[in-house]
Structure 1
Amino acid sequence: MSLMNTEILPFSTTAYKNGDFVEVTDESVKGSWGIFFFYPADFTFVCPTELGDLADHYEELRRLGVEVYSVSTDTHFVHKAWHDSSETIGKIGYYMLGDPSGAITNNFQNMREGAGLADRATFLIDPQGVIQYIEVTAEGVGRSAEELLRKVKAAQYVAAHPGEVCPAKWEEGESTLTPGLDLVGKI
Structure 2
Amino acid sequence: MVRINSTLAPFSTDAFRDGKFLTVTDSDVRGKWSVFFFYPADFTFVCPTELEDLADHQAEFDKLGVEIYGVSTDKHFTHKAWHDTSPAIGKIKYTMLGDPTAAISKSFDVYIEEAGMADRGTFLLDPEGKVQYIEITSGGVGRSATELLDKVRAAQYVAANPGEVCPAKWKEGSTTLKPSLDLIGKI
Is the structural similarity TM-score above 0.5?
A: yes
| Cα distance in 1 for residues equivalent to 2:30 and 2:23 | 14
* Displacement of 1:30: 0.4
What's the TM-score, normalizing by structure 2?
Answer: 0.99
Conservation of the 8 A alpha-carbon contact between 1:8 and 1:129 = yes
Structure 1 runs, 4 residues or longer, greater than 6 Å off: none
| Cα distance in 2 for residues equivalent to 1:180 and 1:138 | 37
Corresponding residue number in structure 2 for 1:117: 117
Conservation of the 8 A alpha-carbon contact between 2:51 and 2:89 = yes
| Cα distance in 2 for residues equivalent to 1:48 and 1:145 | 13
**What SS is found at the alignment partner of 1:87?**
coil
Corresponding residue number in structure 1 for 2:135: 135
* Displacement of 1:24: 0.6
Counterpart amino acid of residue 13 in structure 1: T
**What SS is found at the alignment partner of 1:61?**
helix
* Displacement of 1:95: 0.2
**What SS is found at the alignment partner of 1:78?**
helix
Corresponding residue number in structure 1 for 2:97: 97
Conservation of the 8 A alpha-carbon contact between 1:36 and 1:123 = yes
Identity %: 66
* Displacement of 1:59: 1.2
Q: Deviations over 1:82-118 (max 9, x none)?
A: 0000000000000000000000000101101311100
* Displacement of 1:3: 2.0
Conservation of the 8 A alpha-carbon contact between 1:3 and 1:108 = no
Structure 2, gaps ≥5 residues long:
none
What's the TM-score, normalizing by structure 1?
Answer: 0.99
Q: Structure 1 residues 131, 68: CA separation in 2 closer, same or farther (over 3 Å shift)?
A: same
Counterpart amino acid of residue 28 in structure 1: D
Give the 5 Å matches for 1:1-12: 1-12=1-12
